[in-house]
A and B are shown apart, each in its own frame.
Chain A
């Protein structure tokens, strides 16, 4: 039997990589009615399946669009590539949009990544403290910490509404062009709104730290999207 640190290192490798465990690990485990490899596999399965369940619960709308089997396959690849680094699983999944950007099989569902971004934006706002209207130190407008912007080449908000059953699927056309979703935490509730073209441009410029002014800025401020030093 290796020392505890070595055993745990070998076990971690077996869990993350899956497949046949190292001879060091297998040799440390009792083989009886079941061989050691099959007993170790119970934990390998627990690891993958429990993380998959956690991601399934975070991204229910994505599953609606691609089906359970496909999304489980996506999550399995993601879990293998990017295992969680902490026990707070509500933080796990933030890297999924970046992973999907380089994951070829999802090219047939080009809006899936943006659906995932929108679901993560909603989820992440459900877990943060709601801030009051803070004023930026130098008077520059900035996006409120209570909001997330999800800008998409696809009608992302309409797709999300179809995925949640709020509008019929036939009401959504990909030819309608992109939408920019403003996700806002307000009064303890997360709300979604589609920005019009001018609001979108203004919001994106604020996000980029560029100077802005005009009616769109006023409207975004009224929507709680912007912390603005009026003086």
Chain B
């Protein structure tokens, strides 16, 4: 499949966007904030009707859109749910997004949807399963998609390769690109005790079709601090530092501020997007 997961907005400034939440639909439509694109969860638009569709259709007349799936379960050994593939294809066909993405994770087994991005052992078997599922989804939507690196809270004894090697081999096998979530790298590195910089520097620049930035929460479990990726706060300074390092190496990439819980006023998301834009713009100037 041809590489069609790369997107640059028509403006001179690299594209920065934010999650489009129900709480902000009316504000976005009425105030038309300066934003290159918005991202929605595909599963929230898999109903036939509703005001949210009417809002999104109107917003798409003015903004580019990214469709981000959270429930495809690309790591399911039993394969994809045909009905969900069909619903996903329907959302992509309806809105014609500039970016389409899903996760390196699984969430469905035996007809039960587990509503979490569950981890996979990084094995040859998993690589075969995920590759087959990604190819099937790409065939269904007729385009290459981006696969996001997950947040990790556990590791498997049987894993045979580092996550970035798994993702790179997945891209080689399927033609998919990467949605690089910098916060997820940070969360996983702190939770699992690996080097975030090593992971970040190993990501092939050409595969990155989008970058995610988000906040996380720190929980104390039996005296051990565990970082939980809850998308409910501002991006932390350490993650901004990783993002600057990434941009300095790979150049500007479409970047999204994700926010899914405890959603604040839109201007908070806008301020976070401005921070990302400042870092990307600085990079552009350095290379001018």
Contact = CB atoms under 8 A, between A and B. Distances in A.
Contact of B121 (A4, A50, A127): A4
A87 interface: yes
Contacts of A29: 154-157
Given A4-B121, A47-B114, A32 B109 contact: no
A30 B154 contact: yes
The residue in A8, A51, A127 that gathers the most chain B C-beta atoms within 10 A of its C-beta is A8
Interface string A172-196: 0000000000000000100000000
Contact of B113 (A7, A27, A38, A83): A83
Contacts of B84: 86-87
Nearest to A10: B109
Interface in B91-122: 106-116, 118-121
B156 A9 contact: no
A128 B48 CA distance: 5
A90 B81 CA distance: 18
B147 to A, nearest CB: 17
Nearest to B128: A4
A102 interface: no
Contacts of A4: 75, 77, 120-121, 123, 125-126, 129
Interface residues of B, number: 53
A95 interface: no
The main secondary structure of chain A at its interface with chain B is helix
Contact of B157 (A8, A11, A30, A53): A30
Contacts of A83: 112-114
B153 interface: yes
Nearest to B108: A87
Contacts of B73: 87
A130 interface: yes
Contact of B228 (A34, A42, A87, A129): A42
A216 interface: no
B112 A84 contact: yes
B127 to A, nearest CB: 10
B226 A42 contact: yes
A82 B118 CA distance: 20
A1 interface: yes
Nearest to A87: B71
Interface in A102-158: 126-130
8 contacts: A12-B110, A28-B156, A29-B154, A33-B193, A40-B154, A46-B228, A83-B112, A89-B43
